Structure 1
Amino acid sequence: MEHISDVPIGVLRPQRFKSVLEPEAWALFEGMIDHARELFDGRVIWNVNSTAHGGGVAEMLRSLLTYSRGADVDARWVVIDGNDDFFRVTKRIHNMLHGAPGDGGPLGDEERDIYERALKGSAEELASLVRKDDVVILHDPQTAGLTKALTETGATIIWRCHVGLDNPNEVSRSAWNFLRPYMSAADAYIFSRKTFVWDDLDGDKIHIIAPSIDAFSPKNQELDPATVA
C-alpha cells in the first residue's frame, strides 16, 4: 500500500517577477535565484504535507514550487495519507494551536498512538526516497511525527508551522506539548510570526518566514470597476 503520493508540479520562470519589482529588488532576487541554483545543485528539496488541494499551504506550495522548478531547483511535493482517526486527531491539534478546544477531545496516549501508527508507513516510504544531501520541509502538525525517521537519512529536516497564536493559552500549550517530542530531531523550525514561536525551543534553530503570495495568481489580480460592480 502506498502511503505517500507525488503531486505534479508545473514550471514557471521566476523572471516574470521582473515586471512587478523595482530594479534594485529584482537584482537582489535574481542574485538569490543564482545562489539557490548553485546551493541546491544535485539535491532534492522535498515538501511534505497532508493535502494537495484546499487550504493556504497547498495554495502556497503550488506557486512556490512551480517557480523553484523554473529556477532549475529540483523541488518536489509529496502528500501523506492517513485514516479518519488520524485526521480527527490532527484537526484537534490544529484547532488547539489556535487556542481553541476544537471538538473538546484530549491529546493523550491513545491519540499519540493513533498519530504515530498512521505516520509509520509514510515515514518508511519517504525515507526510502530521501538522500543524504536532500532537504525535507515538513509542513504543519500532520507531518511533525516524521522528523525522527527522516533525520536518520542524513538529510536536513525542517519543520514549518503555519498556524499559531499571538497570545498563547493553556490550550495551545497542550498542543505544543503533544508535538514537542518530535521537535528535537529537526534541524530547523520555521514560524510565520515571532509571536507564534513556542516556549523552550532551541533559539538557534528558529527562523521567521512570513507567508508568501503569488503576485500573478487570480486572487491577486486587479479587478476593473465593472467586474467589481
Structure 2
Amino acid sequence: MLQGVDVGRQNLDSYRACVGDEVVEGLRTLAAPLRGARVLHVNATPYGGGVAEILRSEVPLLRDLGLSVEWKTISPGEENGFFKITKAIHNALQGDPRGLRDEDWRIYRETSARVAAFLRDDYDVVIVHDPQPLALPLLCGRGDAHWVWRCHIDSSAPNSTVWDRLSPYLAEFDAAVFTLGAFVPPRIPVGRVEIIPPAIDPLSPKNMPIDASLAKGVLDWIGVDTGRPLLVQVSRFDRWKDPLGVIAAYRIVKREIPEVQLALVGSMALDDPEGWEVYREISVSDTDDPDMFLFTNLTGVGNIEVNAFQRHADVVIQKSVREGFGLVVSEALWKGTPVVAGRAGGIPLQLGDGVGGELVDSVEQCADAVLRLLGDPAAARTLAAGGTVLVRERFLLPRLLGDELRLVGDLLGRRPAAPAALAGAASGTAGEPRDPVCGMRITDGSPYRRSHRGRTFFFCSRSCAGQFDADPEPFLRAPAAAAAGGGA
C-alpha cells in the first residue's frame, strides 16, 4: 500500500555550472543543521506529471546534503476506483461543480486508512502531495512528525461541498504549501501557509543540454519532418490543458502555413484514469491529418524525446484553461524556445514582463500569436532568450531546494540565517515579507508597490503587481503574517 521509489544518487556539485558556486555553498549552509533529519515525501505515482519529476530530482540531492529522505507512493489497487475518486477530488479543487457520492467518500476514507496502516512513525517531517494522501495524518495519527500538505493544484475556487469534506483532514497539518498566493482556498483550516513555486531540474534527461543534431535525429527517427515548422504541446492528456483547443488553433495556423506540423506529446500517469478518455478524443481528431502527431510515454516517447521536441520546436504551446504551475513552460524557455500559453495558474509568472512568449485567452488569440512568432523568427528567439534568463534566476531546482530546506529547518527549529546567494530568488517563509503573488522574499525597497485596505504590498516584478491589481482578494487568504509583501 506504500511503495518506496528508488531514485539513485546525485551530487549537488553538478549544478555549479548552472547556478554558480555561491548558490551551491549556500545550500550546504542551509542543510548543515538538518543533517540526519528524517523526511518522507508521499504522493500518488512514481512517474507522469510534474510532482514525480520534481521528487525524482529533489530526493537524491537532499540525501547528498545529509538529510535522511524517503519517497513513497500510495498503491491502493484499482478494484475500488480510488484514483478515479481522487481525480474527481482534484478536478473539484480546480472548480469542477460535480461533487462526489457518499459512497466515494467512504471508499476514499477506507482506502486511505489501509494505506495509513503502512506508515511507520519515525519521521521528523512528512510532506504529502495533493489530495490522494491528504487523509494520512488524521487516520494514522500525527505522532511526533511535522506534517506538510503540498498542493500543486489551482485550488483558488474549489467546489465548496468537496472542500468542506476535505477540511477536517487538512486541519491535521502543521503547514500547507501552495504554488501561488491566489491558490490558497477560502476558509483554509491551517494556521501556517507558505507560497513556494516549483522548479525544473536543468540536469535531468528531460532538460539536460543536447545539441541540435541529436534533437533532429531523435525526431527524424520517430517520424517528424524536421525540415518543416513544428508546433508542440507537452502535457498530461487532461481537459484542463485544452488539447482540443490546441488542435483548433493549429488548424487556423495551417490555413496560413500549410506545411506546419503539430505534435501532442503526453504522459500517462497511474493516478489519472481520465487521461485515456482524453487520449481517445484526441485520437479521433487526428485520424485524417498526416501532419498531426500523438505521442505518449507508453509508446516509447520519454524524457530524451521530450527534450528534443522542446528544443527543436518553432513554438511550444501550453494552452491551459486551469493550471497549477505549468513546468513545461519553464522547460521550453530553458531550451530557448518561445511559448504561447493560456493565462492560467503559474504560467503568467513564467511569461511575465514581456519575456518568453505570449499569453492568450482563446483559440483565435493562440493562433494569432503562433503566426506572429512563426513570421518573425528573430523576435521569437529574443523573446525566448529573455525567458531563459528568468528561468535561470527563479525556476531551477536549487532555488526550490533552498526554499524547502528553509521550511523544514524552521519547522524543526534548526534554521540558520539565509545565505546571501539565495536572497534574490528564495521564497519568504516563516512570516518573512514576501510577494503575495509568487511568494518570493521581498524588501520594502522594491519599486513595485500597491496599497490595498490600508496596507502596502511590495512585489518582485511588474507582472506580479499586475496580477494583484486584477483581483487582490485571493492573494490575502493566507494568514496575515505570511500573506503581505511588506508593512504598512
TM-score range, shorter chain: 0.7 to 0.9
Q: 2:150 corresponds to which residue?
A: 160
Aligned position for 1:110: 103
Matches of 1:165 and 1:154 in 2, distance apart? 29
CA contact (8 A) 1:96 1:174 kept: no
Gaps of 5+ in 2: 217-225, 227-488
1:131-210 equivalences in 2 (<5 Å): 131=122, 134-165=124-155, 168=157, 172-202=159-189, 204-210=191-197
Aligned partners of 1:201, 1:140: CA distance in 2, in Å? 15
Shift of 1:30: 2.0
Describe the SS at the equivalent of 1:154: coil
TM-score, normalised to structure 2's length? 0.41
In 2, are the aligned partners of 1:151 and 1:185 still within 8 Å (CA)? no
Q: CA deviation at 1:37?
A: 3.5
CA distance in 1, matches of 2:169, 2:148: 12
Whole-Å Cα distance in 1 between the matches of residues 96 and 125 of structure 2?
33
2:95 is matched with 99
Q: Which entry has the higher C-alpha Rg, 1 or 2?
A: 2
Matched residue of 1:46: which SS?
Answer: strand
Contact 1:48–1:78 under 8 Å retained in 2: yes
**2:49 matched to which residue of 1?**
55
**Which position in structure 1 is the counterpart of 2:267?**
none
Aligned twin of 2:82: 86
Cross-structure match for 1:130: 121
Q: Call closer, same or farther: CA 1:27–1:203 in 2, change over 3 Å.
A: farther
Q: Distance in 2 between matches of 1:150 and 1:207?
A: 24
150 and 15 in structure 1: CA distance in 2 versus 1, 3 angstrom threshold: farther
Q: Which runs of 4+ in 1 moved over 6 A?
A: none
Aligned residues: 214
State how far apart, in whole Å, the 1-side matches of 2:132 and 2:190 are: 23
Aligned equivalents of 2:11 and 2:76: distance in 1?
34
Q: Residues 156, 182 of structure 1: CA spacing in aligned structure 2 closer, same or farther, 3 A cutoff?
A: same
The one-letter code matched in structure 2 to 1:186 is: F
SS at match of 1:201: coil
Deviation readout 1:3-42 (Å, 9 max, x if unpaired): 11111121111111111114xxx42442233332422x33
CA contact (8 A) 2:12 2:24 kept: no
5+ residue gaps, structure 1: none
Question: Would you say the 8 A contact 1:107–1:178 is kept in 2?
Answer: no
Q: Distance in 1 between matches of 2:139 and 2:124?
A: 14
CA–CA separation in structure 1 for the residues paired with 2:56 and 2:13? 17
Aligned in 2, Cα 1:203/1:156: closer, same or farther, shift over 3 Å?
closer
Q: Is residue 217 from structure 1 mapped to residue 204 from structure 2 by the alignment?
A: yes
Q: Deviations over 1:170-209 (max 9, x none)?
A: x533332231110111010011111111112257410111
Q: CA RMSD in A?
A: 2.1
Are 1:189 and 1:207, in contact at CA under 8 Å, matched by a contact in 2?
A: yes
**C-alpha separation between the residues in 2 aligned to 1:151 and 1:16?**
39
Question: 8 Å contact 1:137–1:159 — kept in the other structure?
Answer: yes
Q: Give a deviation string over 1:86-119, Cα, whole Å, max 9, x none.
A: 1121010111222235xx4x32432221101001
Letter in 2 for 1:164: D
Q: Secondary structure at the match of 1:144?
A: coil
Task: Give the whole-Å Cα distance in 1 for the aligned partners of 2:209 and 2:60.
Answer: 22
Which AA in structure 1 matches 2:167?
A: R
**Which residue identity is paired with 1:90?**
T
If the length of structure 1 is used for normalisation, what is the TM-score?
0.84
| Change in 2 beyond 3 A, CA 1:130/1:43 | farther
Shift of 1:223: 5.0
